Structure 1
Amino acid sequence: MDEQPKVKGPASYFPSIEQKYGEPIAHWLTLLASREEKKHMALVAWLKAEHGMGHGHANALVAHFLAQG
């Protein structure tokens, strides 16, 4: 039996983020890349305030984005 490896870390939130907010992850990463601010909590706060995102979802997106360099 070939089981898919379980997705761990921030990416484990991606399916629910796409379902809840109706945009692909690439959309959110592009928005984050357009921001001059690069501090983790400032980006989380921006996603929450401007896009109504929950803290866990915003935190996962920002963590993934910043880990990409």
Structure 2
Amino acid sequence: MATTTRPHGPASYFPSIEAKYGRPVDDWFDALNASGIAGHKDLVDWLKSVHAMGHGHANALVQFHLNPGKWER
């Protein structure tokens, strides 16, 4: 029987982010890069206010965006 590796950390939110907001997470990472905003809280607040994203989803994207080498997809 083969085992399936499930993503951990922020990446575990990616399927629900894509389903809920209709965009691949790479689009969100491009948007975060283009925002010109650097801080974690400011990026989360931007996703929530400009894109009406929930806090958990925004936080997961920003965590991964700011620490890409720490998390697997």
Q: TM-score, normalised by structure 1?
A: 0.95
Distance in 2 (alpha carbons) for counterparts of 1:2 and 1:38: 41
Could you tell me which runs of 5 or more consecutive residues in structure 2 were left unpaired when the two chains were aligned. none
The residue type paired with residue 63 of structure 1 is: Q
Partner in structure 1 of residue 11 of structure 2: 11
Higher relative contact order, structure no. (Cα contacts within 8 Å, ≥ 6 residues apart): 2
Residue in structure 2 matched with residue 62 of structure 1 by the alignment: 62
Report the Cα distance in structure 2 between the residues aligned to 1:3 and 1:49, rounded to whole angstroms.
39
Q: Percent identity?
A: 52
- TM-score, reference length from structure 2: 0.90
Q: Cα RMSD over matched residues?
A: 1.1
CA separation in 2, counterparts of 1:57 and 1:11?
10
Aligned residues: 69
> Structure 1 runs of 4+ off > 2 angstroms?
none
Which moves more between the two structures, 46-55 or 3-12? 3-12
Quote how far apart the aligned CAs of 1:68 are.
2.2
